[in-house]
Amino acid sequence: MPRKLAAGNWKMNGLRSSLVEIQKLAERHSDTSVDVLICPPATLIEACRGLLFDIGGQDCHTAQSGAHTGDISAEMLSDAGATYVLTGHSERRTDHGETNATVAAKSQAAYDAGLTAVICIGETLAEREDGTTLDVIDQQLAQSVPDTATADNTVIAYEPVWAIGTGKVPSSDQIAEVHSHIRARMLDRFADGADMRLLYGGSVKGSNAAEIFSIANVDGALVGGASLKADDFSAIINALE
């Protein structure tokens, strides 16, 4: 059974004063039986050292260093104390035109720096309505997940774009269908595909977490808005434990 993971994506939110939320969370879950990951803005990664949980970046460049003003490399994230990095979040794909090939290159850069990549995939509302969800998922998995992926260096996050930050959540059957499809693809492709963690993401909160975590092949969640406050994220961690 894959180890369960509750991952929080703070997006472009959080100042040093927000670290108190992680401190509160650490006090409440000091003996947690699940893995907890916080992905704060890069400016806060160093300050999170020693705060009990795994810390991740929200993006990395494909290169280790070089003339890329404003970018951050996987090696820099690792140097600051991160052990994970999100790659291919839909906001990166949309706002920065990241393609599946870019996401694969970023994920490989993460592996090369010793980080675990949380590779994000998911269909848009138009794709869901056209009935092409599983085709989109297949293409994203085939092209965004490097051949060098393992259960140790990779987590797959299924995040339907239409569910991110909207309060809309797919039905349990819809989540189950996609997660079992992803599991089958990972089993086809990787010897340790059974152990690769598959997260659901998109409007997860305390009130719907238990139902989502009861779905087969859901090994945890990638949480945006509800990860910013200790009380909200704590309810999700409790549902996963």
Give the residue ranges of the annotated binding site for substrate: 9-11, 165, 203, 224-225
Write out the binding residues: 9-11, 165, 203, 224-225
- Cα–Cα distance between 235 and 193 in angstroms, integer? 29
Q: How far is the CB of 154 from ligand PEP (least distance, A)?
A: 17
89 an active-site residue?
yes
Closer of 75 and 102 to ligand PEP (Cβ) = 102
21 an active-site residue?
no
Closer of 182 and 190 to ligand PEP (Cβ) = 182
Residues that bind ligand PEP (CB under 6 A): 9, 11, 159, 164-165, 201-204, 222-226
Q: Which residue is nearest to ligand PEP (CB)?
A: 224
Q: Are 239 and 206 in contact, with CB atoms under 8 Å apart?
A: yes
- Cα–Cα distance between 113 and 96 in angstroms, integer? 23
- Could you say which of 75, 91, 159, 179 is catalytic? 159
- Could you say which of 21, 89, 127, 179 is catalytic? 89
Closer of 40 and 201 to ligand PEP (Cβ) = 201
Contacts of 27 (CB under 8 A, 6+ apart): none
Closer of 122 and 146 to ligand PEP (Cβ) = 122
Q: How far is the CB of 117 from ligand PEP (least distance, A)?
A: 14
3-state secondary structure the chain: CCCCEEEEECCCCCCHHHHHHHHHHHHHCCCCCCEEEEECCHHHCHHHCCCCCEEEECCCCCCCCCCCCCCCCHHHHHHHCCCEEEECCHHHHHHCCCCHHHHHHHHHHHHHCCCEEEEEECCCHHHHHHCCHHHHHHHHHHHHCCCCCCCCCEEEEECCHHHCCCCCCCCHHHHHHHHHHHHHHHHHHCCCHHHCEEEEECCCCHHHHHHHHCCCCCCEEEECHHHCCHHHHHHHHHHHC
Q: How far is the CB of 65 from ligand PEP (least distance, A)?
A: 28
Q: How far is the CB of 222 from ligand PEP (least distance, A)?
A: 5
Q: How far is the CB of 91 from ligand PEP (least distance, A)?
A: 7
Would you name the residues annotated as active-site residues? 89, 159
